[in-house]
């Protein structure tokens, strides 16, 4: 897949000297969904704002579909839609006039059929003549997306699209994002909800202190860094691990009723067969076994912790 966004060694120091981006290099593939994760203040919004030309970079370069965002600003910007974190809509405008105005800002010819399609896709068509002030918070968020899509961008940036929205709307948003991807739109979103990245992203980027700690295919990341645990339930609790079972990978649960074995899913030998035969040889009777895999959240917390250390 070709790259639609190429970010090279991007740096941003704010006027007070604070370096919010410390040389970010990142290529975004056409048609993918990339989720950027990072703790508060990591630089996610700064990165998006710089790529979209709202904030100027100190050095480095950004190209969108081959257009440099500084020397070829208009062409680059017309490829991009931005859904900001904050709701910045005119309360007395109607939904339709809001999106029409936004399309006009990019110098695109009037095309109410295209706008109708966007509003229908976002379940806003029946609200087209409603003033923004009369919409619920969730609908306003949809209008922000409609507005960002009004000039037919090929790349959509969503800055915390589901911050503070209820679970149902969050799931609606995920569906909208999936539909946009099916239409060939490339999507970059920032989120604090790791569950969200896990649910919809193709690739995950992790940012901390203005640096990109990693960017990797979600499934590969989870397979590479994910650990699995096997829990063995014992028929009777025990006070301590029998000597033959002692290993760094095995712990006795605090209630003594189960053994917890951590293993690497990529290892040639997981050690499970040996563990189970050692358990039997130690005279322990097991009543149940269960496995669980660490989540993206566990991986993320470990990564950010390692970075801080
Ligand atoms: N205009 C500004 N002047 C000075 N510092 C700023 C400015 N805007 C942002 N910063 C600082 O840059 C850092 C990165 O901020 P940014 O908003 O990009 O982080 P973020 O990852 O989006 O955080 P959050 O998840 O909280 O939205 C923060 O330490 C912030 O205080």
Asked if residue 85 is part of any domain, the answer here is: yes
> Are residue 27 and residue 130 in the same domain, yes or no?
yes
> Are residue 136 and residue 22 in the same domain, yes or no?
yes
**Bridge partners of residue 94, in order along the sequence:** 131
Measured CA to CA, the distance from residue 132 to residue 237 in angstroms comes to: 62
Say what the pLDDT of residue 197 is: 87
Measured from the CB, is residue 41 less than 6 Å from ligand 1? Answer: yes
Say what the pLDDT of residue 266 is: 67
Asked if residue 159 is part of any domain, the answer here is: yes
Say what the pLDDT of residue 297 is: 74
pLDDT tens track for 207-225: 999 999 999 998 888 777 6
Measured from the CB, is residue 208 less than 6 Å from ligand 1? Answer: no
Query: pLDDT band at residue 143, thresholds of 50, 70 and 90?
Result: very high
> Which residue range(s) make up the domain with 251?
227-293
171-186 average pLDDT score = 90
pTM of the predicted model as reported, rounded to 2 decimal places: 0.80
> Are residue 86 and residue 212 in the same domain, yes or no?
yes
Asked if residue 9 is part of any domain, the answer here is: yes
> Are residue 177 and residue 253 in the same domain, yes or no?
no
Q: Which residues contact 253 (CB under 8 A, 6 or more apart)?
A: 231, 259, 260
> Are residue 8 and residue 139 in the same domain, yes or no?
yes
pLDDT tens track for 242-282: 988 998 889 999 899 999 998 876 677 888 999 999 999 99
Query: pLDDT band at residue 146, thresholds of 50, 70 and 90?
Result: very high
Name the least confident of 50-64, 138-152, 206-220, 266-280: 266-280
> Are residue 16 and residue 76 in the same domain, yes or no?
yes
> Are residue 268 and residue 192 in the same domain, yes or no?
no
Residue with tokens 């009543």: 287
Among 17, 35, 43, 85, residue to substitute to test ligand 1 (most atoms within 8 Å of Cβ) = 43
Q: Is the pLDDT of residue 141 over 70?
A: yes
Domain end residue (candidates: 161, 192, 223): 223
> Are residue 41 and residue 137 in the same domain, yes or no?
yes
Q: Is the pLDDT of residue 153 over 90?
A: yes
Q: Which atom of ligand 1 is nearest to the CA of 16?
A: 4
Name the least confident of 64-73, 97-106, 155-164, 263-272: 263-272
How many structural domains is the chain composed of? 2
Q: 116 — phi, psi (to 5°)?
A: -60, -45
Cα 50–Cα 55–Cα 57 angle in degrees, nearest 5: 65
Query: pLDDT band at residue 1, thresholds of 50, 70 and 90?
Result: low
H/E run at residue 87: none
Give which of 116, 123, 95, 115 is closest to 179, Cα–Cα.
Answer: 123
CATH number (domain holding residue 90):
3.40.50.300
Say what the pLDDT of residue 64 is: 95
Among 10, 11, 12, 14, residue to substitute to test ligand 1 (most atoms within 8 Å of Cβ) = 14
Ligand 1 atom 16 nearest Cα: 43
CATH number (domain holding residue 234):
3.30.70
Among 12, 13, 42, residue to substitute to test ligand 1 (most atoms within 8 Å of Cβ) = 42
CA of 180 to the centre of ligand 1 (A): 28
Domain end residue (candidates: 183, 205, 223): 223
Asked if residue 20 is part of any domain, the answer here is: yes
Q: Is the pLDDT of residue 51 over 70?
A: yes
pLDDT tens track for 98-107: 999 999 998 8
Give 250's Cβ-side CA count (13 Å radius).
20
> Are residue 60 and residue 118 in the same domain, yes or no?
yes
> Are residue 139 and residue 270 in the same domain, yes or no?
no
Measured from the CB, is residue 46 less than 6 Å from ligand 1? Answer: yes
> Are residue 256 and residue 205 in the same domain, yes or no?
no
CA of 20 to the centre of ligand 1 (A): 7
Say what the pLDDT of residue 226 is: 66
Asked if residue 302 is part of any domain, the answer here is: no
Domain end residue (candidates: 223, 240, 271): 223
> Within a 10 A sphere around the Cβ of 215, how many other Cβ atoms?
18
Asked if residue 157 is part of any domain, the answer here is: yes
> Are residue 155 and residue 285 in the same domain, yes or no?
no
Ligand 1 atom 2 nearest Cα: 14
Average pLDDT score, the chain: 90
CA of 83 to the centre of ligand 1 (A): 17
Say what the pLDDT of residue 239 is: 93
Asked if residue 58 is part of any domain, the answer here is: yes
Asked if residue 34 is part of any domain, the answer here is: yes
């Amino acid at each position: 897949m070709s790259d639609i966004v190429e970010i090279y060694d991007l740096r941003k120091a704010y006027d007070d000297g604070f370096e919010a981006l410390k040389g970010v290099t990142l290529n975004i593939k056409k048609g993918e969904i990339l989720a950027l994760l990072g703790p508060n203040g990591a630089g996610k919004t700064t990165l998006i704002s710089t790529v979209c030309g709202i904030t100027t970079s100190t050095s480095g370069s950004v190209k969108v579909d081959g257009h440099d965002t500084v020397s070829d600003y208009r062409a680059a910007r017309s490829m991009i839609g931005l859904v900001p974190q904050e709701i910045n809509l005119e309360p007395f405008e109607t939904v339709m006039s809001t999106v029409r105005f936004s399309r006009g800002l990019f110098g695109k010819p009037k095309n109410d059929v295209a706008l109708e399609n966007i509003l229908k896709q976002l379940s806003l068509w029946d609200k087209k003549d409603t003033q923004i002030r009369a919409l619920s918070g969730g609908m306003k968020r949809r209008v922000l997306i409609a507005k960002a899509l009004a000039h037919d961008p090929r790349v959509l940036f969503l800055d915390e699209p589901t911050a503070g929205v209820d679970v149902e709307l969050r799931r609606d948003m995920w569906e909208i994002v999936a539909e946009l991807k099916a239409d060939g739109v490339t999507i970059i979103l920032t989120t604090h909800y790791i569950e969200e990245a896990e649910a919809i992203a193709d690739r995950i980027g992790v940012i901390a202190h203005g640096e990109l700690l990693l960017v990797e295919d979600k499934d590969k990341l989870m397979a590479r860094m994910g650990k699995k645990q096997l829990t063995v339930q014992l028929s009777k609790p025990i006070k301590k691990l029998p000597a033959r079972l002692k290993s760094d990978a095995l712990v006795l649960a605090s209630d003594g009723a189960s053994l917890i074995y951590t293993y690497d899913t990529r290892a040639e030998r997981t050690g499970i067969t040996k563990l189970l035969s050692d358990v039997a040889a130690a005279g322990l009777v097991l009543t149940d076994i269960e496995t669980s895999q660490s989540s993206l959240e566990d991986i993320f917390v470990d990564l950010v912790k390692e970075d801080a250390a």
